[in-house]
A and B are shown apart, each in its own frame.
Chain A
Amino acid sequence: MEKTLAKKSFPQWIKKLGSWSVYIPRKDKEGRWNYVEADGGEVGLEVLQTTLPPKKILFPQREVFLEFAMTPAGGRETLEVKEVLPDVKPTVIIGARPCEARAAWLLDKVFGGEFRDVYYWKRRDQTSLVGFACTTPPSENCFCTSVEGSPHSEEGLDLLLTDLGDKYYVQSLSPKGEKLISAAKDLFEEPKPEVKKQVKAAHAESEKKIKRQLKDARPIAEKLKGMFGSPLWDEESMSCLRCGICTYLCPSCHCFDINDEIENSSPLRGQRVRTWDTCQFPDFTMHSSGHNPRPDKAARLRQRLLHKFQYFVQVYDKFMCVGCGRCITLCPVGIDIIKVLDKVRENGA
């Protein structure tokens, strides 16, 4: 379904979404943008990149899996284990970037499959993503077009809005998207015939504006298969602080830890909790014996790049990196994966 929505009608549409939990990007006191609950506040319409991607709404930093307790019953203590499923209201994330939605679409593959992750899906099934096509690149370092994405890609989105000056062109991409339009269907109009051409032109323009390119990503993915033993990884990881920022802020990174957190030790009571984790921490892969398959930074940098650009491609035929550029912008020592992969491409040439 395609419609248009006049920009002046946009705030009214948001008001009609009362039965959804609405998340929007908002600036905090320090000037950083992040997705927060709208709480009736103003919805900004700028094209920007938040610090934390919306993955934190689908895959929160902390998720309780189950509760356990030793309860006294009939003179002796019995172990009670109860699963704790998240209670999620219908949620809509307004202002998602197409690359972030694409990352959610990739995470769907990871958390689906043979073993469905019920916690992720409880949130995902209730969440609608409303994306704005990036008419200007939201970051100096984004490169979505190099990893088979685009500033107007549709994967993972329920609605895609394209800015046409005084109005938005609204593409509904799923039943969830249609529901959002139906909430205020009087505000939406049928698109006039010339609109489609304008949209096509706007989309083409937006692709040209992407500032950074990673040439030949697919051949690089192939080449990476033979680069496991290369000294390149040691050279490129010399300045890595193994701080974890690149992975925590990446929209498609999903590594996690599971731990039991005790609230009371006697009688025992606690929760089994999932938290974010990162392959960049030295102890991520350490065995109890002390043996560590990835003992140094070179091995861990290699793991991150191979996972994003080769292993995921081998399993799902897609790049796991969506080209948002956060890891490049936020790395405290300026490690730039585009430059590292450029070196991979040129290696041995």
Chain B
Amino acid sequence: MEPNVYTPQLAKIVQTKDEVVGARAIKTFRAEFVNSARFDYRCGQCAMLSVFGKGEAMISISSSPLIKEYMQFSILRTGRVTAALHDLEAGDFIGVRGPYGNGFPIDEWRGKNLVFIGGGIGLAPLWSVVQTALLRRNEFGTLSLIYGARTAKDIVFKDDLADLKSQMPVHLSIDVAEPEWNEFVGFVPTNVLEKKPSPANAIAITCGPPIMIKFVIKNLKDLKFEDEQIYTTVENKMKCGIGKCGRCNIGFHYVCKDGPVYSWAELKKLPQEY
């Protein structure tokens, strides 16, 4: 029987965690396949999650592929499907199709210093690379993270970041000053200029809102990072996830299939329509 690329596998939610509550709620889910389906994925790949009756949403897999016991997704509550996902608890079922996308070329980065730069929910797609780099620590040079959110409440993976500080420099920021906040105040791109990551033997990997990515790349260029040293993962509205529904294209690329990971060298050649 021919495999049907549109039929999801059923997965059970085994754990949920409220990362951010309130207006811009973010919830982390860990899910396991019901029928131990084969699902080998690479860092940076995504999966189409189904809530039957509501629809599907393309969410990046934020756990490291080296962890076999579960898959982790961190989801911002922003619309129909994500609101339905947020209503689910451990024991509920979702559909999973994938993995889709090209993933980060992490093997090419062996020996290099990795600078992770994230904004808001953008830390979720980067998280799989961060965790994989830690699990394969000797293969890489220095690791560091520059991450910011709108307010202290909006910072995602708060507990994990506290743990992370003992393993690599973590530079946090929020947009506007708050009492009890003693780290950087300002936008993430500005913090990048502040912390001046060195381009020597380095790869910068960034993800966040489109406008943040734009200015982070600009500032990295000002810090003398070459186009091939800057990587990002873009998003677009998706439905099929397999390059057929015609929706997510940037030029002749479909973000779901040919992306979502791009080096700035590749991305700047495409029409800036994302």
Residues of A with Cβ closer than 8 Å to B? Answer: 65-66, 68, 79, 81, 83, 85, 110-111, 113-119, 121, 228, 254-260, 262, 265, 268, 270, 272, 277, 279, 284-289, 291, 293-294, 299, 303, 306-307, 310-312, 314-315
Contact with A along B224-257 (1 / 0, CB 8 A): 0000000000011101101111111111100001
Query: Could you tell me if B6 and A311 are in contact, using CB atoms closer than 8 angstroms?
Result: no
Q: How far is the CA of A293 from the CA of B210 in the complex (A)?
A: 10
The stretch of B25-33, B48-56, B135-143, B145-153 in contact with A is B48-56
Query: Could you tell me if A257 and B245 are in contact, using CB atoms closer than 8 angstroms?
Result: yes
Known: A117-B5, A293-B236. A262 touches B246 (CB 8 A): no
Query: Could you tell me if B240 and A256 are in contact, using CB atoms closer than 8 angstroms?
Result: yes
Q: A79-B52, A81-B7, A228-B271 are in contact. List 18 more A-B contacts (CB 8 A).
A: A83-B7, A111-B244, A113-B243, A256-B246, A257-B245, A258-B240, A262-B53, A268-B52, A272-B50, A272-B52, A277-B245, A277-B247, A279-B246, A285-B247, A289-B78, A293-B236, A303-B273, A311-B249
Which of B53, B245, B257, B274 contacts A68 (CB under 8 A)? B53
A sample of 8 cross-chain residue pairs with beta-carbon separation below 8 angstroms, ordered by A number, consists of A115-B242, A118-B6, A121-B2, A270-B52, A285-B248, A287-B235, A294-B273, A306-B251
For A66, list chain B residues within 8 Å (CB).
6-7
Known: A255-B246, A268-B52, A270-B53. A285 touches B237 (CB 8 A): yes
What number of B residues sit within 8 Å (CB to CB) of A?
41
Closest beta carbon of chain B to A68's beta carbon, Å: 4
Q: Is B72 part of the contact surface with A, judged by Cβ < 8 Å?
A: no
The tally of CB-CB contacts under 8 A between chains A and B is 114
Contact with A along B55-66 (1 / 0, CB 8 A): 110000000000
Q: How far is the CA of A287 from the CA of B246 in the complex (A)?
A: 15
Interface of B is mostly: loop
Q: How far is the CA of A85 from the CA of B236 in the complex (A)?
A: 29
Residue of B nearest to A119 (CB): B6
Known: A65-B6, A314-B252. A260 touches B246 (CB 8 A): no
Which of B56, B246, B252 contacts A315 (CB under 8 A)? B252
Closest beta carbon of chain A to B258's beta carbon, Å: 9
Closest beta carbon of chain A to B271's beta carbon, Å: 5
Known: A279-B246, A311-B251. A288 touches B82 (CB 8 A): yes
For B3, list chain A residues within 8 Å (CB).
118
For A288, list chain B residues within 8 Å (CB).
78-79, 82, 237
For A115, list chain B residues within 8 Å (CB).
5, 242-244, 257
Query: Could you tell me if A260 and B274 are in contact, using CB atoms closer than 8 angstroms?
Result: no
For A259, list chain B residues within 8 Å (CB).
55
For A299, list chain B residues within 8 Å (CB).
273
Query: Could you tell me if A254 and B246 are in contact, using CB atoms closer than 8 angstroms?
Result: yes
Residue of B nearest to A312 (CB): B252
Known: A81-B95, A284-B247, A293-B236. A260 touches B53 (CB 8 A): yes
Q: Is B182 part of the contact surface with A, judged by Cβ < 8 Å?
A: no
Query: Could you tell me if B4 and A260 are in contact, using CB atoms closer than 8 angstroms?
Result: no
Q: Is B124 part of the contact surface with A, judged by Cβ < 8 Å?
A: no
Closest beta carbon of chain B to A140's beta carbon, Å: 28
Query: Could you tell me if A268 and B239 are in contact, using CB atoms closer than 8 angstroms?
Result: no
